[in-house]
Chains A and B, each alone.
Chain A
Amino acid sequence: MKDDAIPSQFPVEPGDPTRRNFLKLSSGAVVLFMGGAAVAAGEQTATGAPAEAAAIPPVPVVPVPKPARTEGEALEAYNWEEHRYAYLIDTAKCIGCGSCVRACKKENDVPDEFFRTWVERYLVSAEQSYVDSPNGGLEGFQPAHVAFVPTKAFFVPKMCNHCRETPCIQVCPVGASYRTKEGAILVDGDHCIGCGYCVQACPYGSRFINEHIHTADKCTWCYHRITKGLKPACVSVCPTGTRQFGDMHNETDPVRVAIEHERVTTLQPHHLTEPQCYYLALDKEVR
């Protein structure tokens, strides 16, 4: 059953940390597998036209695992001084299934038409490019028809970059946006006045005003999960290991190792916001 959760066409090496964590997490929890809920886009297979190169094979919905430990146990062991988190996205691995977007919506009650994370699709040729993200990639992607012949196509997951030099914290007039010791950028929902200045200031479109609670909302790296030793929901459900979450205070953490040794980049580096969300294999077309 657990093995079914990860489709066989995306082999994961036995030592893959993401997978190991995923299995560990789900081992203590009841994993409900929604076999019937195949992704709508998945049922539409590519017909072979070059423009549809980005259409994706069927991918099952992977549910978010429930916390393995009780809240009390986990929080007791947790000391926020001991962590500094970072996020790594290997765009070469992303298949655009949108599981992460769905997981995030559920986990965090994200209102319709707003996104804490989304997935973009790029169809690129030497001369032209086409980008879309239908409903943030929530239902995966339908085949795209473009008027040129793309020579490459790829998906790019996006989310808050948890910048170290954040314009969003800088502009908050009441200090409701803040950074935790672990490096997560959060919004104090009891203090936010809902002015929307931070929404304007974020160069990445990562924030929005939540229409239900009328305050700023954004990716928290699933702070309620990571403080219990879990991974963010999007990381947990990613079937390909595109999304990885790690601790820079842990020398052997694969995310830290990758950031230290691979050629990583960040989004819109010219803004000097020092994102803590790093990308592998990012194309120049991506902003």
Chain B
Amino acid sequence: MPEMSGYSFPNDIHVTWSLMIVMYPYITGFVAGAFIVTSLYHVFGRQEFKPVARLAMATSFCFLAIATMPLLNHLGHPERGVFVVITPNFASAMAGFGLLYSFYLIVLTLEVWFVYRKEIIETARRSRGLKRFVYAALALGTYDTSPEALAIDHKAVRLLCAIGLPSACMLHGYVGFIFGAIKANPWWSTPLMPVIFLLSAAVSGIGLLIVLYQAICKFRRAPIEAPTVTAMARWLWFFLILTATLETLEVIMLAYEKSESWQVVGKLLGGPLSFSFWSLQMILGSLIPFILLFIVVVMNRFLHDRIRNTLTMIASLLLLVQVFSMRWNIVIGGQLLSKSFRGWRGGYTPALFDREGVLVALGLLVLPFVLLFIFNRVLPIYSATAAEEEHDQEPSGPASSEAAPAGGIK
């Protein structure tokens, strides 16, 4: 029996949505956030993001590939999971998930294909045997690397990205909606929920990319582009401010309104959630990164590259913790309180070896990076050709797409 305070409805002492449901928005947050970064380059033409555009796309793809795993693992009957698509009840906020997910998966896969098409064909031409066969298959039967074809590729990428951005935002904002639309739960039920989820997705996505980008550059012994880090730090700071403001506003509104719900939410924030909300999410996760990024953004000119890199790295790592604790505080926090509004559960500790326990969750976090490693083996994120490709893909104006042939004919 968990430690209980006040009076909870007897069924409310159980935490139905486990650690897996914390992992799910954490993972889709990376999907959406990374995609936002990729779009900043492909759609909005921010050149500073060129060095991370492919990495962001690949990261989004790898996280998306495993996004359904925590959900399926959580279901009482995973084998019936497909019913969500076969017999959807469209009155349910959850029923659209299958459609949204599949749509975004298709868009993202197509985008990856168009971005890599030229390289796939070239690799196929270069290699022999099985490798050649595999890449030829990946090329899907078209071997056209003429300038016109490549120009079309570039247009397709931009179009797909323009479609993908709203879909990624939908996919994640929608997770917020699933919580926000539960009128029974005072800690979830707010129209701010989808917005908060979306903004924190951007935070986690950009944060993760800063970490990944710097780590990969170190590993490849390549220089870390200062403009890229600066630009990412700026955007990260911007999204952090929005997220933290809304998260704080939500609590202040509840407290100031002194509504019925505050009776239990207030107790929760002062009790079982005090560490994960105030210490982790608000101070360590929001205030400190805010200051670190403030330094980077405001005093950028005076900063040595090393210092800038370190500051953004620390801020990003802290923000990854912030976003996780925010997911935890919402998903688990919302279940600690009882709908009697009179009682709450003292806390929740997931088991280590459980089917939905800590180890599985860690596995789920490692898996996308394994996929990323494999992805990079099959479709190199940074390579000599990739560097050229990146130059070819200047999204600003037709002049650059016409420059493509130079790199295309080999």
Contacts and interface: CB of A to CB of B under 8 A. Distances in A.
Interface string A93-130: 00000000000000000000111001010000000000
A201 B188 CA distance: 11
Contact of A200 (B13, B88, B184): B184
B89 A174 contact: yes
B363 interface: no
Contact of B10 (A136, A169, A175, A213): A136
Contacts of A175: 87-89
Contacts of B342: 131, 287
A177 to B, nearest CB: 9
A135 B10 contact: yes
A200 B335 CA distance: 8
B177 to A, nearest CB: 11
A222 interface: no
B46 interface: no
A208 B91 CA distance: 21
B84 A173 contact: yes
Given A192-B77, A193-B80, A133 B182 contact: no
A132 B18 CA distance: 26
Max chain A Cβ within 10 angstroms of own Cβ: one of B1, B88, B182, B335: B182
Contacts of A208: 11, 14, 16
A52 B77 CA distance: 46
A206 B12 CA distance: 9
Interface stretch (B93-101, B131-139, B249-257): B93-101
Contacts of B181: 171
A209 B17 CA distance: 10
B74 interface: yes
Given A172-B92, A195-B94, A206 B11 contact: yes
B45 interface: no
Given A194-B76, A203-B184, A133 B16 contact: no
A169 to B, nearest CB: 8
Contacts, number: 129
B185 A192 contact: no
A158 interface: yes
A194 B9 contact: no
Max chain A Cβ within 10 angstroms of own Cβ: one of B88, B92, B183: B92
A200 B9 CA distance: 13
A20 interface: no
B341 A133 contact: no
A214 to B, nearest CB: 3
Given A133-B7, A215-B76, A197 B92 contact: yes
A215 to B, nearest CB: 6
A41 B273 CA distance: 36
B101 to A, nearest CB: 13
Max chain A Cβ within 10 angstroms of own Cβ: one of B13, B95, B97: B95
Nearest to A199: B16
Interface in A196-231: 196-197, 199-209, 213-215
A86 B378 CA distance: 63
A233 B184 CA distance: 28
A200 B185 contact: yes
Question: Shortest 3 CB-CB distances between A and B: which pairs?
Answer: A194-B76, A205-B9, A214-B76
Given A193-B77, A199-B11, 16 more contacts: A113-B10, A113-B14, A169-B91, A173-B94, A174-B83, A175-B89, A191-B80, A193-B78, A193-B81, A197-B92, A200-B184, A205-B9, A209-B14, A214-B76, A271-B183, A287-B341
